[in-house]
């Protein structure tokens, strides 16, 4: 089952703090992207609230994510993040039973997603 990790981290400091955290953590992000089963791994400064980092990860399986948690690169990433004052967070795991494209071949949003149509949703 594909696993998504998504959420946010809030840090104390000025509006440049989160940008510095991401820039300083680039090697950790790149290392995670090279791990087995990593589909996506990114941190981004929230464009509305620059004190927040938005986190998004996608893993091929639960096993791949669990291996990530014991990889030395993960420990280094945690150590990097812990050098800054974390004031709040909300990061969650999401499991997916399938993956489908959002848009059809015509470039428009699909009218059916995982067997549910727009009419079913009405």
Please state the domain extents for the chain: 2-121
Sequence-ordered list of residues with C-beta below 8 angstroms from that of 42, at least 6 positions apart, any chain: 29, 55, 56, 57
Pairwise CA distance, residues 114 & 122, whole Å: 16
The two tokens of residue 41 are: 């791994």
Sequence-ordered list of residues with C-beta below 8 angstroms from that of 98, at least 6 positions apart, any chain: 114
Total residues found in the chain within this entry = 122
For residue 118, the model assigns a pLDDT of: 75
For residue 12, the model assigns a pLDDT of: 97
38-61 in b/e form (b: 16+ CB < 10 A) is beebebebeeeebbbbbbebbbee
For residue 37, the model assigns a pLDDT of: 97
Q: Is domain 2-121 annotated with CATH 3.30.420.40?
A: no
Task: Name the residue among 45, 43, 50, 55 with its Cα closest to residue 90.
Answer: 55
Pairing of strands 86-96, 38-45: unpaired
**pLDDT tens series, the chain, 122 aa:** 899 999 999 999 988 999 999 999 999 999 999 999 999 999 999 999 999 999 999 999 999 999 999 999 999 999 999 999 999 999 999 998 888 899 999 999 988 888 888 788 76
């Amino acid at each position: 089952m594909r696993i998504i990790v998504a959420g946010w981290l809030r840090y104390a400091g000025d509006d440049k703090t989160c940008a510095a955290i991401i820039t300083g953590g680039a090697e950790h992000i790149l290392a995670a992207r090279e791990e087995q089963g990593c589909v996506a791994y990114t941190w981004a400064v929230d464009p509305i609230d620059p004190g927040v980092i938005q986190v998004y990860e996608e893993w091929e399986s639960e096993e791949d994510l669990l291996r990530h948690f014991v990889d030395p690169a993960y420990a280094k990433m945690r150590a990097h993040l812990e050098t800054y004052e974390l004031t709040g967070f909300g990061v969650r795991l999401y499991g997916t039973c399938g993956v489908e494209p959002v848009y059809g071949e015509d470039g428009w949003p699909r009218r059916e997603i995982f067997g549910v149509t727009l009419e079913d949703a009405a």
